[in-house]
Amino acid sequence: DHLRNDKRIRFAEETVNGETVTITCYMVADPSLWQIHLANECRGIVFNSKGDCISRPFHKFFNVGEREDTQLHNLQELTEVLEKRDGSLIVPVLVGGQIAWKSKKSFYSDVAVEAGKNAPANVHNYASYCLLKDMTPVFEYTSDNNRVVSDYGSESKFVLLAVRDNVTGDYISYDQMSQVAVDLYGVEVIKKYDMTIQDCLEQAKTLENFEGWCLRNPVT
């Protein structure tokens, strides 16, 4: 509530499955905004009418070298290197007893509606597993209709990027996420590389037709 009067942040209400929810998302990438308590969470986080957090996608993250805490000398040597896909972030949300799919800012964007229609049974079942545990699975969705730059083929695809606790904001470790998603549900998980940050920086100078990498501190 202390952010409601900040014009850089939008509080948007949408009616989904008969319930009113509030989507909170920053509209202006102002560096001073990230100094405000909880502003980093305003990246598509969703609350129900009681004020409970029912969807908690990624917090705001930054490029290498963009600010002091992402300068090379401040990054951990054991950083996990994950593929960065060129698609749309999409999350399932449990609303009114049903799963609704949402993009960063809306349940009714074209990509959210398309993803909801195309989610295969195993992805839907895994989403249900996470949501019933009050966790948000975060997917990258790609399809011919939603191509940005990279071509991932004509088949629509959901790739699991992360799983986050709605209440604490904690992320599930990559290994734990993979064990459940891949082994029990057959859901594709984002690729992890055996590389260092320096490897990434060197390859980025010449690599073509590749979106890039996301660096993540290991979760124990």
Annotated catalytic sites, by residue? 84
H/E stretch holding 89: strand 88-95
Specify whether the backbone of 8 is left (phi greater than 0), alpha (psi in -120 to 50) or beta. Answer: alpha
Q: Report the candidate in 111, 107, 109, 131 with the shortest Cα–Cα distance to residue 53.
A: 131
How do beta strands 157-165 and 19-26 pair? Answer: unpaired
As a whole number of angstroms, the distance between CA 150 and CA 144 comes to: 10
Rg from Cα positions in the chain: 17
Q: For residue 93, which amino acid is it?
A: V
For residues 191 and 152, is the Cβ–Cβ distance under 8 A? Answer: no
Query: In the numeric block, which tokens belong to residue 194?
Result: 């055996």
Residue 192 in 3-state DSSP?
A: strand
